[in-house]
Structures are given as C-alpha cells and as structure tokens.
Chain A
Amino acid sequence: MNRGEWILISRRAQVSKSTRPRLCPIERVNQICRCSFFLFDSFSFAEAAAMFHNSSQRKYWIFKSEDEVAHMRRKANQKFRNKIQESGKSAVSDSMFLERHEEDVLFRHYERRLLDFCNAFKPAMPKSVVGTALMYFRRFYLNNSVMEHHPRTIMLTCAYLSCKVDEFNVSSTQFGGNLLHETPAGQERVLEQILEYELLLIQQLNFHLVVHNPYRPMEGLLIDLKTRYPTLENPESLRKSADDFLTQAAMTDAGLLFPPSQIALAAILNSALRASLSMESYLTECLGLKEDKDSISKMYDSMRRMKTLLKKYELPKADEVNIYKPRLERIHAQFASSSNKRKRGYEDDSHVAKEPRLVEEEWTDEDLM
C-alpha cells in the first residue's frame, strides 16, 4: 500500500472520475474507495485492500499505551539536544532548550491554529481532510522535536499534503490564498517553504499517508443502530454530541492509541450515557459479544481511557505560549540556519541534490568597469 500512496502524491493530479464510483451520498462522508480501486477489478476484493485492519495505521501507528507515546516524544527531544551538543556550537546551555511540557504547550497551540486554519479554509474542507492533517501533525512531532522544525510551516505542510492525499483538489495558489495574514508575495514565500518541507514530512511519516478517521465508522455505527437496535428510539439524537466527542478526540492522542472504529463507538456510547440512554445490550446482542466478557471489559476499559484523555486536554494558556514562543524562535534562529540552504528531505541523499551544470564565474570588480 505504501508504494500506491507515494505514487498518488507524485502524480499531483486528480484520479480521473471515470475510474472510481460516484461520491457516496451519505451526508458528510465523501469518499468510497481510494487508489486500491483501479488496482483490483472486483469491488469486494478492493475493499479488503483499503480497510483499517490491514492498513499501515494499524501496523505501525497504533501504540500500546500513553507511556509509550510519551517516551517517543522524550526521545525526540533528547535527540535534538544531543544533535546540537555534538555539533559543538559554542554558547549552548541546557536551559536554552525547551522542556517536554513546554514543547507540549507549543504543540497544542499550533495544533489549535491548524484546526482554525482548516475550519476557515475556503472552499470548505471536509472533515476527513482536517482529521488527516491533524494526524500528520501529531505523527510528525512524535519523532521530531518542535525545536528542530518549526511547527508554523509544518502545520501548513500537513494541511497541504492532506488535501492531496484525501483527493480534496486545491491548487497551490488557492491554498496560498487562504493565508489571510500575508501579502501575495508573502503567500508565495510561504508556499515555497511548504513545498520544501513536503518531502521531509512524507519521509517522517515513513511514507504511510493513508489515515483512517473515525467519521465514517461513526456513520456506519449509526446506520447499524438504526437497523438492528430498535431499543434505541432515535439514534440521530446522538449524532451532535458524538461529533463533538470526535472533534475533541482529534486533539488528543486517541488516534495514536485506538482504532478509529473504537473511537467512534466510544463517542456514541458516551453521548448515549449523557442522554441517560442505555446501550448495554447493543454490545452483547448486536455485536455478538455475549459470551466474550473479556472483550467487553477491554472495550469499556479503552473507552474509559479515551474519556480520560479528553478530560485531560487543556487549551494552551496564552501567557505560557507567550513565554515559550520567543524561546522557540531563538532556538530556530540560532540552530536552524545551517540547514536552510539545502532542500529539506534531501539531506541524506547526496546524489539527489542538484549540482550546478555550469560553474558560474565569480564577479569581480573588473567586470563591472
């Protein structure tokens, strides 16, 4: 699947409409099958290829516990510190670096900014595109430190890449037009930066570009409830609060710890709980888990963990952000200047970097005479 994802990006063009089925008319869900459709001829076999259970997300980007995730972030922080220490730049004190909790505040701040950017995007960005962009952002900073690559550019690159991967066709000029704070020249510059960072982002995602969001599973669960669970009279009433749950969950590590269908189920069960509706028998009867007490308890456990994650989320406080941001800028100004000259992502492949064809002659004063 990875090669298919990479080919999708490098083509930069829309899949022609004739090779895929028409857009699914279920509200707010706008994709059926992606690149796997034209690899296989029978539709049911194609579905086996594009689902969560054999996706790269399940294999490589679902982690066992919150501790494992925190450990990875600590490692990234440490890696950057070591890199700077080893490069031997003078006047480097440990206090200059950002601590983990400080990085966290900045991460959440820029994540909010990304969410606001996507919500204000014109034309309106579908929810799955927003979800994919947030997931890219989160995955990138799992293995990299905010001190090494500035989140301001990475967040825009995530949005740009997500539009391409999710086939939400936006030209780069249109994308740039959404940067409302910049002049047209400034937009061009930002776009250039985005294009520079794009390959680095893809590389740090380990080329795993397909992200499964919980929005379609939620639709599916609602359909299943309406069909097989008459005990619940009006499942539609659960939709709004489940939607809010999912939006909040996207700002937590839930996507890195649980499959999207479990997150969707948690959203629905949570909103049922809030409305004081009981859905116990859904799990036992409809999902066939009557005998499997072990699985049921594990599922409730996961849902509890998710709720804890949502509760623990704090909006980044403005005063904290105002302290940490200048420090971040200072770090970038001091340490990032050396890598500015080379294109991002090409650093490891020396044969990819373009050598100038002709050696340009040096200008001397005599030439000007």
Chain B
Amino acid sequence: MDDQGCPRCKTTKYRNPSLKLMVNVCGHTLCENCCDTPLRKSNFRVQLFEDPTVDKEVEIRKKVLKIYNKRDFDFSSLREYNDYLEQVEDIVYNLTNNLDVENTKLKMEQYQREHRDLIQKNKATLTREQEELEELLLLEQQGNEQRRLDVLQDEQRQLQAKRKNKQALLDELEQSQLPATILLAQHKVRAAQLETQIEQQKQTVKPTNLFSTGIHMRQTVSLVAVPKVEDVLFHYKPLHVETYGPPVPELEQLSRVGYLNHVRAAMPQDTAGGYTSALACHRAIQDAFSGLFPLKG
C-alpha cells in the first residue's frame, strides 16, 4: 500500500499516514487521465481495494444488483437461474471495461421498466430479512452481555466470601481463647468447604429451554421417514498390488526372520520420532524385490 500515492500531489502513505485514497467513478485514483468525464467531489468514495479497477467494479456491481435483484427461488429451473446470473455478469463486465456502454444501459433501463413491481417486491423482502437478522443479532448480543454480567457477579461474590473468611480468621485469632493451630485448622476446613461449594456451583447447568440451534427443548421435530435405498451389499476385497518380483516379508516379521541384525539399529533420537530400523529395512527389501522378475511373454 505504501507505493500507492496520489498521482496529483505525490504524497504517499509513508509521508502522510492518514492519507486516504479516494476512488472516483472512472476507477482512477484522483482522475485527470480521463479529463473528459466531469468529476464531482460527492462521487469520491474511500478506496477499499488496492486495485482501483476492483473498486470500480464493486461500485458498478452494487448499482446493477439494485436493479437485477431476483433470487434463486424466483426461477423454475437451475438452468434459468444460471442464465440470469450470466446476464448480470455480462452487464457488469461491459460497464467495468467500457464496452458497449450505451446498449448495456439501454438493456438495464428496459429491464427496470419491465420488472418494476418484482424489483420493488424483492427490495421489500430484502429489507425485511435484514431487519430480522439484525434483531437476532441484537438478541444474541444481549444474551452474551447478560451472561458476562452473571459471571462477573459470581466472581465478585466468591471473592467476598473468601475475604470474609479471612477476616473471620483474624478476628478469631484476636479474640478467641483456643490455641492458634486449632483455629488455623478450622479456617482451612472452612476454606475447603467454600472451594467445593464454588466448584459445585460451576458444575450445575443453568436450566434453559433452548438448544443452541434454536430449537425448543420440548419441541418435537417431525422427521420425514427416510426412503430406504436398496443397494448391493459391499464385500471387502483386500488390495492386491502386482510387484513383478518375489514376495516381500511383512514389516512385523522382519525381526523374526533375522533381517534386522544386518541393519543399523535405531538410536534413541530416531525412535523418539517414531522411526524403527524395521522401516528402513522393509523399504530396502521392497525396492530390491520390486520389478526383479522379467515380464512374462
């Protein structure tokens, strides 16, 4: 980001860290290159992406999608939906790369006129969905806050209890006639009791009536009977690999047959990593036997 600077005054982020590069309609930062298009200060937006063409495309896409706002359930088949999406992408591409701008704009206006009602309806559903989402988020946040406060209060209470205990001990040491060791023992017992109380409190689950997925505890979810699929029963056949050579002894048999006597033993550093000398031996034997026999015929 440091090498990008305002082409006009050449200040960079290095010299002025609070410099924010603005992007204009044509996609150029601080445009003088396309001096034909009239520039307005209100059209400058803060540049979000390093490549100004990406920013330009994002702006165009937002505008186009305000008009072309059909959703997947508005279409009767997947093919139609995909065709619609391709249409939209073509329009965005044309506008971004300044190809055939007038025709594209005409197309857009025509579409807007034809589907005015549908566009309005979709806008309405969108805003409704967004509001619902926001409500959910708010609820969740409130729940989190509440939980946090509860935990804090619990901790405070525990601290209080401990302090009281200590204070009680000091008072008793001052006033009581009993010897100090007995008092200390009593205090320890009380402290231990407090600890177990706290532990128990932590263990008890707060009774709730909602699962984390949002389903109520007592709610019966109707399960549609899953259709039974009949298929051929699977029979396991062990893997057979043709090695074109004599059979290789199993890894576990190597030490029994005596191979490992002729391989350097594994040192503690090696075995720590999971290495055994049988691994190396097995690999060498495999390599020696693989492809050893000539092909038949």
A217 at the interface (CB under 8 A from B): yes
Question: Closest approach, in angstroms, between the C-beta of B50 and any C-beta of chain A?
Answer: 15
A302 to B294 alpha-carbon distance, docked (Å): 9
Instruction: Specify which of A45, A52, A228 is in contact with B287 (CB 8 Å cutoff).
Output: A52
Q: Which residue of A lies closest to B293 (CB)?
A: A295
Given A22-B275, A44-B251, A227-B262; A288-B288 close (CB under 8 Å)? no
Chain B 218-261 per-residue mask, 1 if CB under 8 angstroms from chain A, else 0: 00000000000000000000010111111100010000011101
Question: Closest approach, in angstroms, between the C-beta of B284 and any C-beta of chain A?
Answer: 4
Chain A 255-280 per-residue mask, 1 if CB under 8 angstroms from chain B, else 0: 00001111011000000000000000
A27 to B243 alpha-carbon distance, docked (Å): 25
B139 at the interface (CB under 8 A from A): no
**Structural contact, B284 and A220, CB atoms closer than 8 A:** yes
Instruction: Specify which of A25, A33, A44, A288 is in contact with B246 (CB 8 Å cutoff).
Output: A288
In the complex, how many residues of chain B place their beta carbon closer than 8 angstroms to a beta carbon of chain A?
40
A35 at the interface (CB under 8 A from B): no
Interface set, chain B 73-126, CB cutoff 8 A to A: none
Chain A 222-240 per-residue mask, 1 if CB under 8 angstroms from chain B, else 0: 1110111000000000000
A43 to B275 alpha-carbon distance, docked (Å): 12
**Structural contact, A295 and B259, CB atoms closer than 8 A:** no
**Structural contact, B294 and A298, CB atoms closer than 8 A:** yes
**Structural contact, B279 and A26, CB atoms closer than 8 A:** no
Q: Which residue of B lies closest to A265 (CB)?
A: B292
**Structural contact, B284 and A261, CB atoms closer than 8 A:** no
Instruction: Specify which of A54, A216, A298, A302 is in contact with B241 (CB 8 Å cutoff).
Output: A54
Given A27-B264, A48-B241; A260-B284 close (CB under 8 Å)? no
Question: Closest approach, in angstroms, between the C-beta of B186 and any C-beta of chain A?
Answer: 55
A24 at the interface (CB under 8 A from B): yes
**Structural contact, A221 and B288, CB atoms closer than 8 A:** yes
Instruction: Specify which of B273, B288, B291 is in contact with A224 (CB 8 Å cutoff).
Output: B288
Question: Closest approach, in angstroms, between the C-beta of B226 and any C-beta of chain A?
Answer: 31
**Structural contact, B245 and A261, CB atoms closer than 8 A:** yes
**Structural contact, A24 and B283, CB atoms closer than 8 A:** yes
Given A48-B239, A53-B291; A216-B284 close (CB under 8 Å)? yes
**Structural contact, A262 and B291, CB atoms closer than 8 A:** yes
Given A24-B279, A25-B277; A226-B262 close (CB under 8 Å)? yes
A51 at the interface (CB under 8 A from B): yes
Write out the residue numbers on chain A whose beta carbons fall within 8 Å of the beta carbon of B264. 25-27
**Structural contact, B266 and A259, CB atoms closer than 8 A:** no
Given A27-B264, A220-B288; A32-B241 close (CB under 8 Å)? no
Instruction: Specify which of A21, A261, A299 is in contact with B275 (CB 8 Å cutoff).
Output: A21
The winner among A29, A33, A259 for most chain B CB atoms within 10 A is: A259
B38 at the interface (CB under 8 A from A): no
A243 at the interface (CB under 8 A from B): no
Write out the residue numbers on chain A whose beta carbons fall within 8 Å of the beta carbon of B245. 53, 261
Write out the residue numbers on chain B whose beta carbons fall within 8 Å of the beta carbon of A218. 288
B263 at the interface (CB under 8 A from A): yes
A223 to B263 alpha-carbon distance, docked (Å): 7
A139 at the interface (CB under 8 A from B): no
Chain B 48-92 per-residue mask, 1 if CB under 8 angstroms from chain A, else 0: 000000000000000000000000000000000000000000000
**Structural contact, B270 and A25, CB atoms closer than 8 A:** yes
Q: Which residue of B lies closest to A25 (CB)?
A: B264
Write out the residue numbers on chain A whose beta carbons fall within 8 Å of the beta carbon of B263. 25-26, 223
Q: Which residue of B lies closest to A43 (CB)?
A: B279
Question: Closest approach, in angstroms, between the C-beta of B90 and any C-beta of chain A?
Answer: 22
Q: Which residue of A lies closest to B272 (CB)?
A: A22
Chain A 33-50 per-residue mask, 1 if CB under 8 angstroms from chain B, else 0: 100000000011101100
Write out the residue numbers on chain A whose beta carbons fall within 8 Å of the beta carbon of B293. 289, 295, 299
**Structural contact, B257 and A25, CB atoms closer than 8 A:** no
A150 to B71 alpha-carbon distance, docked (Å): 61
B274 at the interface (CB under 8 A from A): yes
User: Can you list 17 A-B pairs with a CB-CB distance of less than 8 A?
Assistant: A22-B270, A25-B263, A25-B267, A26-B264, A26-B281, A51-B290, A216-B284, A219-B284, A220-B285, A223-B263, A224-B288, A227-B257, A259-B290, A261-B288, A261-B290, A264-B288, A289-B293
Closest 4 CB pairs of A and B: A220-B288, A259-B291, A220-B284, A24-B280
